[in-house]
Amino acid sequence: LDQKDPTPGPRMVKTKVFDGLIYSNEVEAIVTFSSVNDAPIVDLSGTSSPGLDYSMARFTEGSQPVAIVSSDAVVIDVDNSTLAYLEAKLTSLPDTTKETLSVNIPTSVPLQQLYDNATGCLTVRPYGGVPSVEDYQSVLRTLMYHNQADELTKDNRNVTVTASDGQLTSMVATSFISLIS
């Protein structure tokens, strides 16, 4: 039996107890296993650091976009081979539409990114095919933050990231970005 993901269905369990002298009568019970959907997992710090969050991102005023996740960030879904979407969202936009999130998607990967300047929300979703969970993971590893404001608002930024399999959404993982002027 594969204990990690048992085949759904009933099982007969028979039990006897021995007290050192006599065996009890055998008792039978039926145990039914059913499938459950586990939520995906997003780990921005990757395999090299504990926890789901990432706090190493630094953005310097006037610089190019910076990576805001570990190069070994992880997306896992133990019971689905694909996802419905991956979402990254700036929790605040003090520099309004000057702040952006983006990812690099190779043309061979059937995903697209949609960025909403008003909300600071980047959504990565299927496009023209069925992407694997590994496709989402490779794209997540390219998540970048950019700010084109002439004068940065000094507050640090937080980006929350989730993934969904269409039924369940992962726990929130957060990237903490330090801004340097």
What are the mean pLDDT values of the chain's consecutive 10-residue runs (181 residues total)?
A: 69 93 94 89 93 95 96 96 98 96 97 97 97 98 97 94 98 97 86
Q: What is the pLDDT of residue 36?
A: 87
What type of residue sits at position 20? G
Q: What is the pLDDT of residue 1?
A: 42
Q: What is the pLDDT of residue 86?
A: 98
- Measured in Å, how far apart are the chain's first and last C-alpha atoms? 58
Distance CA 8, CA 10 (A): 7
Q: What is the pLDDT of residue 158?
A: 97
Strands (E), the chain: 9-15, 27-33, 41-43, 54-60, 66-67, 74-76, 85-90, 99-102, 111-116, 121-126, 144-147, 157-164, 173-180
Which residues are 115's β-sheet partners? 122
Q: What is the pLDDT of residue 102?
A: 98
Q: What is the pLDDT of residue 3?
A: 54
